[in-house]
A and B are shown apart, each in its own frame.
Chain A
Amino acid sequence: MSLEMFSVLLTDKACGFHSDLTLKMVSNIPWSVLTFAWWLTVHSWFAWSCPDSCDCFRRVKIFCTSSAIKEVPSNISVTVTELVFLETHIGTIGNTTFMGKDRLKKLVFISNQIKSIDVGALHWFPKLTDLEITANPLSEIHPGTFDNLPELLKLTVTFNYIEELPCELLQKTQNLQILILQGNNISALCSEMFSSIKNLVELSLDSNGIMHLPVDLFKPLQKLRVLKLSNNKLSKLPPGIFDCLKELSELYLNGNGLTTIPGHTFEKLTSLKKLMLMSNSIKMLSDGIFSALVNLTILRLDWNRLEYLPFGIFNETTSLHILSINGNRLQAIPEGIFSRLHHVKKLDLCSNLLEKLQNSTFQGLHSLTHLHLDNNNLTFIENNVFKDLNDLKMLTLHHNNLTTILDGTFDPLFNVASLVLHSNPWLCDCSFMYLLKWIKENSDFTQVSEMQCEKPQHLKEKALSLLRKQDLSCPTNTRIHVPDIPSTNDQRVMKNAPLSPCYLTTNGDLHLTCKVNVCKSMRIHVSLQRESNTTTFVRDFGNFQPHCTDVIFNITIN
């Protein structure tokens, strides 16, 4: 075999291209050197083997996912760049376990049995960028464990049993950008814990037992964009704790025991887009608490104990897209409180104690598509309340105390695609005509199947889907002249006097119930007109002086 022929063969096998070029280059190299090179190539190819119970990809990525693995395999190639141990029974990582694996970039342990990591165990990786230790029974990390990882960008130590972090643990990982410490038992942090990791972009301390935050803890983190502090035991926030986080875009504080939030807490967070304050015990918020958050798009205050909202609280948060105050104790919404929130698409006010909606309540919410008002105590909705909500797609009003919907209330909802109204004590009398007509015309998206009448008695529990127009008895044939009714809040009483207008029962009884304020005397005049005959009945009622009083009278004709 000639030298030329051999070298062609060799280069073809090793690289598979540029054989001409290589041929020229190698023809000058002595035979012995070439043989050695060939031996090296072939030998390393055959000597390389994938550890038992592991999967290897392109000789650089190794996945070990078997409970048969009790310790880190000894024959892991030095060429490996990614190493994942998943659901193995590895219990410890010793100082020399990874000796020589200096090309490693990613090292992941998930759901193993690791109880201890020696101080020097991870000191072999000058190129490591991504380290994860998740769901291991690891209770302690020694100081210095991460000291020799200059390139580390992402460190994930989650769902272990770690209670304490050494103060100087992160002193040498100066390039760190993402630090996830979720789901441990950390109860306190040193004030200088993060002093060296100035490039941090995301920090999660979610689901630990942290009770206090040192005031200066976040001071070095001027590039931080995401901060997750949910599900800890933070009953209060130190003043100024977030003041240096000028780039912060998302802040999660759900599920802590917060009762109040100092008024200036968020005043430097002008970049904030998402603020989550759910499941705390917040009773009140100060007027200007959100005034710096001009870029805020999502604000969730669900499951707190808010009893009222200060009037100007949303004046500056004009970028809001989603506002959710579900599950609080709000009894009323100050007029015009949302009037600057032109971009809000979703407003959730479910499960509060709201009693009425006024015409000005939702003024200005021109972009609103989802409005949730279910599970309140609503008894009354003014008829122009939805006039700005022309884009509304979904409206929920179920589980309230609504008896009727005033004429024209739903007329501005051109685009509504889902309307939920069940579980209200509907009064199916003449005033119900508007809603019944509207429901019939829009039955394709109104969930009518569960709706039923509560009153009058003869229609109780009648399904709305079976209700006909003629079932709604109206007082139009009954003229009631009431001379002088003092002003009252209910406009329907003003006009018509009847407390509950007339309706004809199925067995032919006519009931009329009225409430009027009578000052001198009262005459009730009933005339029954049948074909050309008119029967008249007149009855005078006695002297009501000296005081004007409310009188309720019932007339039954059968």
Chain B
Amino acid sequence: MALGLWSFLQLFLLCEVAASLSFFHHRYDDLVRALYNVQNQCPYITRVYSIGRSVQGRHLYVIEFSDNPGIHELLEPEFKYVGNMHGNEVLGRELLIQLAEFLCEEYRNNNERVTRLIQTTRIHILPSMNPDGYEVAADQGPEGNGYLTGRYNYRQVDLNRNFPDLNTVMYYNEKYGGPNHHLPLPDNWMAQVEPETQAMIQWLKNYNFVLSANLHGGAVVANYPYDKSKEIRMRGFTRSTYSSTPDDALFKELAKTYSYAHGWMHTGYNCDDFFYEGITNGASWYSLYKGMQDFNYLHTNCFEITLELSCDKFPREEELEQEWNGNREALLTYIDKVHQGIKGMITDENGNGIANAVISISEIAHDVTSGIGGDYFRLLLPGTYEVTASAEGYYFKTVSATVGPADATLVHFQLKQQKATIESRFLNQNNKNYIRKVVPRAANKRRSS
């Protein structure tokens, strides 16, 4: 009986696989061709651009979906997916190519949900952040792929250990006071990081991303910040302890959004491991230092989680379709989450947008800032919050806002200019330094109990 059922299942799987020709491992040129193919099929809603090059000179191509590609529309949030940061963790790369093809095809098929998503969101998809490492891994293929073959970039650097460490600064600030967001980079950061990392950081600076996920493999779990443990190292060994961000509840919800919309992640039992509800705090799993996820949160407005999507880092081609079916809904639902919370315009008395204004939420010691046009986005769980907007040279303003389960609540701020002081009279309004020089709210000091 059991045998019969098993062979039936296998037959079923084979049939499913036999039906599809579009699921295969895309080498660099296949990836480029796939992205350009989508761009040609959906020219009015897509754009392909490169954010930089790998060590060996491969482009880091991004495909963008928007009703106005190439343009940031005010109040339309920016979302990103990043895949294949570790060259040998390839499922994310393939899923993101499938996602791009799916969004285009369903848009052409008048799919209401996809159309609405593209009209209200600007989605950036980077299928491979480490194209050099991928080629090394792909040369070996799925069979007998070593655990680490192709993981690193061409210079043997782990890109997810290559970002400037801002956690140390943040944990210090939490104890002794200091900025709680947009922590500055060291002056020589460019010299410290790999070309792929540099391209990523530059990308993060150029776009005001709101939400992101970084697709990995080797486990099946949605991992949220912080990745780096707050515990002090003992004899060179960092213990795994839950290290929460001020947005812990929100991050948990974001992670759960993915795990529950995923075919089997939420069950928790995967790859001989167990994660309750299919999610985990990064540091409570294992502490990780100089990772990209924490960097997003500490240096930008972007909230990023890390998705571990397959037990096998390099799954066989026949498994790709099933993986896509398990992830498709989750990939879409997670993008929808970019619309949760509050958003609005920060303007001066003449209605001009104020860039880099600081938006603070009482009780949450992590501020966000407004973009170049003066629009801001603050992801929040449903509830009522006190929201404060402040900008250098303006009187701050506090309002109460209620967040529902669906679309973002609009909360606009019109700030009144402070009377000119001797100091500020010398400053040019258009000077970038002037606008950037916003004194951030102090991080909540951790209470010593």
- Do A and B bind? yes
Closest residue on chain B to residue A158 by CB atoms: B40
In the assembled complex, B406 has its CB within 8 A of some CB on chain A: yes
Give residues 423-444 of A contacting B (CB, 8 Å): none
The answer to whether A447 and B406 touch across the interface, beta carbons within 8 angstroms, is: yes
The answer to whether A249 and B109 touch across the interface, beta carbons within 8 angstroms, is: no
Q: B21 → chain A, closest Cβ, in Å?
A: 5
Given contacts A84-B29, A106-B29, A449-B404, contact A273 B36 (CB under 8 A): no
Residues in B with CB closer than 8 Å to A295 are 15
Partner of A86, one of B36, B40, B110, B406: B36
Most chain B CB inside 10 Å of its own CB: which residue of A55, A279, A302: A55
Report how far A296 CA is from B135 CA in the complex, Å. Answer: 38
In the assembled complex, B59 has its CB within 8 A of some CB on chain A: yes
Give residues 4-35 of B contacting A (CB, 8 Å): 15, 18-19, 21, 28-29, 32-33
Over the window 82-94 of chain A, the binary record of Cβ atoms lying under 8 Å from chain B Cβ atoms (1 yes, 0 no) is 1010100000000
The answer to whether B110 and A303 touch across the interface, beta carbons within 8 angstroms, is: yes
In the assembled complex, B299 has its CB within 8 A of some CB on chain A: no
Report how far A135 CA is from B404 CA in the complex, Å. Answer: 45
Report how far A295 CA is from B21 CA in the complex, Å. Answer: 18
Give residues 251-285 of A contacting B (CB, 8 Å): 254, 273-274, 278-279
Give residues 290-322 of B contacting A (CB, 8 Å): none
Q: B26 → chain A, closest Cβ, in Å?
A: 13
Most chain A CB inside 10 Å of its own CB: which residue of B28, B29, B33, B404: B29
Give residues 166-204 of B contacting A (CB, 8 Å): none
The answer to whether B36 and A274 touch across the interface, beta carbons within 8 angstroms, is: no
Given contacts A65-B59, A86-B32, contact A57 B21 (CB under 8 A): no
Over the window 41-61 of chain B, the binary record of Cβ atoms lying under 8 Å from chain A Cβ atoms (1 yes, 0 no) is 100000000000000111100
The answer to whether A250 and B19 touch across the interface, beta carbons within 8 angstroms, is: yes
The answer to whether B29 and A134 touch across the interface, beta carbons within 8 angstroms, is: no
Report how far A132 CA is from B21 CA in the complex, Å. Answer: 17
Q: A226 → chain B, closest Cβ, in Å?
A: 6
The answer to whether A273 and B29 touch across the interface, beta carbons within 8 angstroms, is: no
The answer to whether B29 and A63 touch across the interface, beta carbons within 8 angstroms, is: yes
The answer to whether A55 and B58 touch across the interface, beta carbons within 8 angstroms, is: yes
The answer to whether A134 and B36 touch across the interface, beta carbons within 8 angstroms, is: yes
The answer to whether A249 and B18 touch across the interface, beta carbons within 8 angstroms, is: yes
In the assembled complex, A217 has its CB within 8 A of some CB on chain B: no
Residues in B with CB closer than 8 Å to A82 are 29
In the assembled complex, A108 has its CB within 8 A of some CB on chain B: yes
Give residues 377-417 of B contacting A (CB, 8 Å): 404-406
Report how far A142 CA is from B149 CA in the complex, Å. Answer: 46
In the assembled complex, B37 has its CB within 8 A of some CB on chain A: yes
Q: A90 → chain B, closest Cβ, in Å?
A: 16
The answer to whether B110 and A225 touch across the interface, beta carbons within 8 angstroms, is: no
Q: A283 → chain B, closest Cβ, in Å?
A: 19
The answer to whether B135 and A57 touch across the interface, beta carbons within 8 angstroms, is: yes
Closest residue on chain B to residue A372 by CB atoms: B112
The answer to whether B37 and A158 touch across the interface, beta carbons within 8 angstroms, is: yes
Closest residue on chain B to residue A297 by CB atoms: B19
In the assembled complex, A125 has its CB within 8 A of some CB on chain B: no
Residues in B with CB closer than 8 Å to A250 are 19
Q: B340 → chain A, closest Cβ, in Å?
A: 14
Report how far A154 CA is from B58 CA in the complex, Å. Answer: 24
In the assembled complex, A183 has its CB within 8 A of some CB on chain B: yes
The answer to whether B405 and A449 touch across the interface, beta carbons within 8 angstroms, is: yes
Over the window 121-157 of chain B, the binary record of Cβ atoms lying under 8 Å from chain A Cβ atoms (1 yes, 0 no) is 0000000000000010000000000000000000000
The answer to whether A159 and B40 touch across the interface, beta carbons within 8 angstroms, is: yes
The answer to whether A110 and B19 touch across the interface, beta carbons within 8 angstroms, is: no
Report how far A403 CA is from B32 CA in the complex, Å. Answer: 53
Interface size of B as a range: 20 to 34
Given contacts A254-B109, A449-B404, A449-B406, contact A226 B33 (CB under 8 A): no
Give residues 223-258 of A contacting B (CB, 8 Å): 225-226, 249-250, 254
Residues in B with CB closer than 8 Å to A84 are 29, 32
The answer to whether B40 and A134 touch across the interface, beta carbons within 8 angstroms, is: yes
Closest residue on chain B to residue A417 by CB atoms: B260
Residues in A with CB closer than 8 Å to B56 are 55, 57
The answer to whether B40 and A132 touch across the interface, beta carbons within 8 angstroms, is: no
Closest residue on chain A to residue B53 by CB atoms: A55
Partner of B21, one of A108, A159, A201, A279: A201
Report how far A165 CA is from B283 CA in the complex, Å. Answer: 61
Partner of A110, one of B18, B33, B41, B59: B33
Report how far A178 CA is from B57 CA in the complex, Å. Answer: 30
Q: B258 → chain A, closest Cβ, in Å?
A: 15
Q: A312 → chain B, closest Cβ, in Å?
A: 26
Residues in B with CB closer than 8 Å to A65 are 59
Closest residue on chain A to residue B18 by CB atoms: A249
Residues in B with CB closer than 8 Å to A183 are 40-41
The answer to whether B110 and A279 touch across the interface, beta carbons within 8 angstroms, is: yes
In the assembled complex, A111 has its CB within 8 A of some CB on chain B: yes
Closest residue on chain A to residue B56 by CB atoms: A57
Residues in A with CB closer than 8 Å to B404 are 449
Over the window 63-78 of chain B, the binary record of Cβ atoms lying under 8 Å from chain A Cβ atoms (1 yes, 0 no) is 0000000000000000
The answer to whether B29 and A108 touch across the interface, beta carbons within 8 angstroms, is: yes
The answer to whether B58 and A202 touch across the interface, beta carbons within 8 angstroms, is: no
Report how far A250 CA is from B15 CA in the complex, Å. Answer: 13
Q: A367 → chain B, closest Cβ, in Å?
A: 14
In the assembled complex, A61 has its CB within 8 A of some CB on chain B: yes
Closest residue on chain B to residue A86 by CB atoms: B32
The answer to whether B40 and A302 touch across the interface, beta carbons within 8 angstroms, is: no
The answer to whether A274 and B109 touch across the interface, beta carbons within 8 angstroms, is: no
Residues in B with CB closer than 8 Å to A158 are 37, 40
The answer to whether A135 and B36 touch across the interface, beta carbons within 8 angstroms, is: yes
Given contacts A65-B59, A202-B21, A449-B404, contact A302 B37 (CB under 8 A): no
Give residues 202-222 of B contacting A (CB, 8 Å): none
Report how far A57 CA is from B59 CA in the complex, Å. Answer: 13
Report how far A202 CA is from B57 CA in the complex, Å. Answer: 33
Give residues 272-318 of A contacting B (CB, 8 Å): 273-274, 278-279, 295, 300, 302-303
Report how far A295 CA is from B33 CA in the complex, Å. Answer: 32
Q: B253 → chain A, closest Cβ, in Å?
A: 13
B residues whose Cβ falls under 8 Å from a Cβ of A:
15, 18-19, 21, 28-29, 32-33, 36-37, 40-41, 56-59, 109-110, 135, 404-406
Q: Told that A225-B19, A254-B109, A302-B110 touch, could you supply 12 new A-B pairs with CB distance under 8 A?
A: A57-B135, A82-B29, A110-B33, A110-B36, A111-B36, A132-B33, A178-B21, A201-B21, A225-B21, A226-B21, A278-B109, A278-B110
Q: Which 9 A-B pairs have the closest CB atoms?
A: A55-B57, A159-B40, A249-B19, A273-B19, A110-B36, A84-B29, A135-B40, A202-B21, A278-B109
A-B contact pairs, 17 of them (CB 8 A): A55-B57, A61-B29, A63-B29, A82-B29, A110-B32, A110-B33, A110-B36, A134-B37, A134-B40, A159-B40, A183-B41, A225-B21, A249-B19, A302-B110, A303-B110, A447-B406, A449-B405
